[in-house]
Structure 1
Amino acid sequence: MTLPVTLLEAVAVDRITPRTARVAFEARALDDTVGTTPDQQLKLCFPRPGQREPVLPAQRDDPIGWYQAYLALPEAERPVLRSFTLRRRHPGTRRIEVDFVLHGDTGPAASWALRAAPGDRLGMVGPSALYAPPVPFAEAAAAAGQVLLAGDESALPAIATLVEALPEGVRAQAWIEVADRAERQELTSRAALEVRWLYRDGAAPGGLLVEEFRRAGRPAGRPFVWLAGEAGAVRALRRSLVEEHGVPKESVDFTGYWRHRLTQDDAPTAEDLADARERSAASS
């Protein structure tokens, strides 16, 4: 399976909320299948200080070989990889949109997005089923007749694409935790969609979502459930649904996007590894 690799150039930067920047990119090359399904995961490659654009090994049919070539780059040249969700593909073009959560000037992605301007360049690896197998979300939701989604602002781009993909006749409920009321975004869907916005207003991330979820009790019926966001919160939500409310494990798709006080460069914890094994077993 070929691992797509290309350069991106920013063509527009829009602050859609005080803490979210939507960047439109023109891709040097883009497969026709990109943007045709929801929740497409990709990796962005950020240049090192002093670089006009990131140094990228060429695309190849051997994904492991590409990653080895990436690791073989001198550390001072090797781009920083971060995971994102494709927010939108403009049909018939090579233009895509990616949303960045602006959580300060402490990480490579947020600090880049704070200063992003047309002409800035990044690399893109993916989207590829190699590291993010697509979930037949719309089909699972239609079969269940109802769907429950929950996450924080890091999951908002994925949630937006998922509810946009839902067919008519499905009942959908989305629980979304954000910093405050100013971070609300408009979501559109053909499904009967109810959105519950939860505002931290200075509280630690994840706790409010878990608290409100547990307070609501067992979901009605047997919905298909999609969870994403801070890894500890996602883990607690899933345990509550499965162990306390009897939702079948196979009805819950879950992903920890980020870890409180840890970065993607930090080693995985024992719980991270356990989650990865369970996700792998569920998709095999």
Structure 2
Amino acid sequence: MENTSPSTSREVRRVRHELKLREVTVARIRQTGTNMLSITFKGDALHDFVSLSYDDHIKFVFPDGNGESIRRDYTPTEHDPQRGELTLEFALHAEGAATDWARRATEGMPAVIAGPRGSMIVPDDYDWYVLAGDLSALPAITRRLKEIPAGTRVTAVIEIAHLGDMRQFDTRAELDVKWVANGDELLAAVRALDLSSGEGYVWGGGEAATMTRLRTVLLDEKQHPKGAMRVSAYWKPGASDFHEKLD
């Protein structure tokens, strides 16, 4: 039996932030998976940086090989205001300007951080949570699992193409992780979940076609309340600087 409730008693709260351009430099680089690179930036401009949600996005501004400015969306994974540091994780795709920049990054390289414009704050008292996405969503999922209250029931469905991108999560949640190999397996795993017990929140991020199908599964097949979900297309094959909220 699926959840046919049209709404939820809990509400996601939006908080807007002052938009600033912050000049930073690379402080540290760490490989976090076969296709994932964590880069920590530092700069005095980061002392008043604010990111209140795991779903936040900043614009990472960097020069390409021709000196032209490129902008890409990234999730802040860690922020230390005392040290003036901010960490982003880069998915190392086969090609792309951001991938090229990350691969050649060295300590001291300059960049610019802009935003986030706002934060969508999801209540922490839902009965359960589902987090679904591919490699591009892994930073947001990792941050959510780190920040979520102890004992929270969470199911994470994560699509990766390489076993080397599997990771252990720093979390106090009651966590069930399902690693899948492609978008079809991700959808099948979500279809197999029982979403009928209590009130839950579903978050999804990843490739546009898969996320569109995920939204259909949640709304049409699972009858999950629209107010208790957020599904975003993080990327689309052949498109640069692509991000689209689907719900």
* Shared fold per TM-score greater than 0.5: yes
**2:167 is aligned with 1:182:** no
Tell me: CA distance 1:121–1:220, structure 2 relative to 1, closer, same or farther (3 Å).
same
8 Å CA contact retained: 1:181, 1:199: no
Counterpart in 2 of 1:40? Answer: 56
Counterpart in 2 of 1:224? Answer: 201
Gaps of 5+ in 1: 52-76, 201-205, 280-284
Alignment of 1:259-270 (within 5 A): 259-264=236-241
Alignment of 1:73-84 (within 5 A): 77=68, 79-84=69-74
How far apart are residue 170 of structure 1 and its match? 2.1
Counterpart in 1 of 2:147? Answer: 165
Alignment of 1:80-159 (within 5 A): 80-104=70-94, 106-129=95-118, 134-137=119-122, 139=123, 141-142=124-125, 144-159=126-141
Measure the CA separation in 2 of the matches of 1:37 and 1:149.
14
Bigger helix share: 1
Worse-matched range after superposition: 36-45 or 170-179: 36-45
**2:231 is aligned with 1:242:** no
8 Å CA contact retained: 2:155, 2:176: yes
Measure the CA separation in 1 of the matches of 2:80 and 2:165.
24
Per-residue Cα deviation, 1:226-275 (whole angstroms, up to 9, x for no partner): 1111121111111101101111111111111111232227xx9xxx6xx5
Counterpart in 2 of 1:21? Answer: 37
Per-residue Cα deviation, 1:45-69 (whole angstroms, up to 9, x for no partner): 1114354xxxxxxxxxxxxxxxxxx
How far apart are residue 217 of structure 1 and its match? 4.8
TM-score, normalised to structure 2, is 0.85
Structure 1: which amino acid aligns with 2:82?
A: G
**2:235 is aligned with 1:258:** yes
8 Å CA contact retained: 2:23, 2:113: yes
**C-alpha root-mean-square deviation of aligned residues, in Å?**
2.1
Give % identity: 28
Gaps of 5+ in 2: 1-16
